[in-house]
């Protein structure tokens, strides 16, 4: 065997080892993340139940805390099930006439109930008339909720949600005044189970959203937010979701 062959084989083995190490890191990170996302709301729920059991009067604020924690657990379960379907190539949208205006309002309300914060204001600019599209309402609800939820988690003080008909598309725009997306996150947008140095998590929610939109002929893009910058002084993010409009006679 020549020296070049030996060097080449050594390089290939090193690359394979690096790939295996990276895959193991992502798997470990994923399991830790899932464990944390289960343990945190479960611990809150258990504490609330203990408090309610020992209380002799109604405690609506504790009930609200428990509901919020349980919603987070239900969302995690939904995410894992959807990602499993996407990874297996088994997700098939069930299309039906869907009013995106109603869907956006419902998604905003649910996102606020799960990820809302007292110091962040969320407002919606929605049309008065229905905006219909042929879509799987259940799946698009997940997309809208996750895009809005991400904005709520990252915003400094404000999130704005708008829905408009533009040319042959219906456009949902979600803006926040947070730190925006890093160059690394923007470059790897749509890829899940990927080790990133500049972001928490594994990119599940937005990659899942992009796959669902792709199955509807839609897209998800990142832009700079038009909102005044937050405390860090950098522009926030605007996530733009586009779906093909449905003709009135369709």
Q: What values do phi and psi take at 199, rounded to 5?
A: -150, 150
The whole model's pTM is what? 0.78
Which residues, in sequence order, are bridge partners of residue 165? 170
C-alpha–C-alpha distance, residues 107 and 216, integer Å: 18
Greater confidence (12 vs 182) lies with 182
| Residue ranges covered by each domain of the chain | 3-88, 96-244
Band of residue 29 on the pLDDT scale cut at 50, 70, 90: low
What are 204-218's pLDDT values in tens digits? 788 889 999 999 999
Residue 86 token pair: 């996407």
- The edge-to-edge listing of strands for the beta sheet with 121-125 is 121-125, 158-166, 169-176, 237-244, 219-224
What are 101-119's pLDDT values in tens digits? 999 999 999 999 999 999 9
Query: How many other CB atoms sit within 10 Å of the CB of residue 191?
Result: 13
Fold of 96-244: Heat Shock Protein 90 (3.30.565)
Band of residue 250 on the pLDDT scale cut at 50, 70, 90: very low
Q: Kindly state the average pLDDT of the residues 14-26.
A: 57
Q: Kindly state the average pLDDT of the residues 179-206.
A: 69
**Is pLDDT above 90 for 21?**
no
Helices (H), 55-95: 60-88
């Amino acid at each position: 065997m020549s020296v070049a062959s030996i060097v080449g084989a050594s390089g290939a083995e090193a690359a394979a080892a690096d790939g295996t190490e990276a895959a193991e890191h992502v798997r470990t990170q994923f399991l830790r993340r899932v464990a944390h996302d289960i343990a945190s709301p479960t611990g809150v729920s258990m504490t609330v139940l203990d408090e309610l059991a020992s209380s002799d009067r109604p405690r609506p604020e504790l009930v609200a805390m428990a509901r919020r924690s349980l919603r987070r657990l239900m969302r995690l379960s939904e995410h894992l099930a959807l990602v499993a379907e996407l990874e297996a190539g088994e997700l098939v949208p069930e299309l039906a006439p869907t009013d995106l205006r109603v869907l956006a309002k419902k998604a905003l309300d649910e996102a606020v109930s799960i990820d809302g914060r007292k110091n962040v204001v969320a407002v919606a600019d929605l049309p008065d008339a229905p905006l219909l599209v042929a879509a799987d309402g259940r799946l698009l609800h997940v997309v809208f909720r996750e895009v809005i939820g991400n904005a709520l988690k990252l915003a400094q003080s404000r999130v704005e949600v708008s829905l408009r008909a533009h040319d042959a598309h219906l456009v949902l725009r979600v803006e926040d005044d947070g730190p925006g997306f890093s160059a690394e996150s923007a470059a790897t947008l749509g890829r899940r189970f990927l080790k990133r140095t500049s972001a928490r998590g594994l990119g599940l929610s937005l990659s899942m959203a992009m796959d669902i939109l792709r199955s509807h002929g839609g897209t998800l893009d990142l832009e700079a937010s038009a909102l005044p910058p937050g405390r860090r002084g950098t522009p926030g993010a605007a996530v733009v979701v586009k779906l093909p409009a449905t003709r009135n006679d369709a």
